[in-house]
Amino acid sequence: MSLFVIATPIGNSMDLGQRAREILNQSDLIIGEEAKPLRRRLREWGIPLKPIECLNEHSRPSDIQGLLQLCLEHPMVALVSDCGTPGFCDPGAQLVSLCRQANVPVYSVPGPSSLMAFLSVCGVPLKEFYFRGFLPAHSESRQRALGDLKKIKVPIIIMDTPYRLIKTLKDMDKLWPQRPLTLGLDLSREDEVILHGKASQLLKGLPREKAEFILLVE
């Protein structure tokens, strides 16, 4: 029994590593966020369809306990997220923790990461930063979180869902109208874009209103 935590492409499907491909081929079970998109990606990578179980933000503690039991029963289980590295801004860490407690060996299969991809092309030298990740969706909680960010004295990295791109930039314009920002859109895809400027400038220069994005507040 073993659990392999596998990083998958964040945009370009050709970024799947050879080791990741081989382990997915050999796995008896694959745990992902959503079954339908995962089946589609397996077909893209030429990997035979395997039994699939779901682990996402709707999973209850009892669901994750059930996944642990499957890890105990299967020789080789792969854990993936919709894109990027599992356990980073998704519930995969809970399953990894339970596996370690149950003495199920856990192995990393590193690869694509939206954070590291962004840092490599943003052109801003960083020795430290504060990773805020996804902001709350609820208005009151979101405003409270944004208020807390004003106390941070180092560069901040923010992520959110594609349909909140405009909202996030408007929030930044209210919070820090003069701070320089770096915005990465649809990283690793053919239409990848990196933009620099104040929030008001980015809002005017956006090539599209919806995109996978990551934002650096300098």
CATH of the domain at 69: 3.40.1010.10
Q: Which of 109, 141, 166 is the last residue of a domain?
A: 109
Residue 42 vs residues 13, 27, 31, 100: alpha-carbon distances, Å: 10, 12, 12, 27
pLDDT at 189: 92
33 and 101 share one domain: yes
128 and 58 share one domain: no
Q: Which of 93, 109, 125 is the last residue of a domain?
A: 109
pLDDT at 83: 87
94 and 122 share one domain: no
Distance of alpha carbon 158 from alpha carbon 54, whole angstroms: 26
Q: What is the pLDDT of residues 30-78, one digit of tens each?
A: 999 999 999 999 999 999 989 999 999 899 999 999 999 999 999 999 9
Q: Is the Cβ–Cβ distance between 64 and 14 less than 8 Å?
A: no
CB contact set of 14 (below 8 Å; sequence gap of 6+): none
pLDDT at 137: 87
pTM summary value: 0.87
Distance of alpha carbon 198 from alpha carbon 196, whole angstroms: 7
105 and 119 share one domain: no
62 and 24 share one domain: yes
177 and 148 share one domain: yes
Distance of alpha carbon 11 from alpha carbon 112, whole angstroms: 9
150 and 181 share one domain: yes
Q: What is the pLDDT of residues 156-190, one digit of tens each?
A: 999 999 999 999 999 999 999 999 999 999 999 99
Distance of alpha carbon 118 from alpha carbon 12, whole angstroms: 14
146 and 67 share one domain: no
Query: Which structural domain, as residue segments, surrounds residue 118?
Result: 114-217
Q: Helix 165-175 and helix 139-149: axis angle, to 10°?
A: 50
Q: How many domains does the chain have?
A: 2
Distance of alpha carbon 50 from alpha carbon 24, whole angstroms: 9
Q: Helix 92-101 and helix 61-73: axis angle, to 10°?
A: 50
15 and 98 share one domain: yes
Which structure tokens are listed for 60?
Answer: 């209850």
212 and 119 share one domain: yes
What is the percent of the chain where pLDDT is above 70? 100
Distance of alpha carbon 210 from alpha carbon 199, whole angstroms: 16
Bridge partners of residue 205, in order along the sequence = none
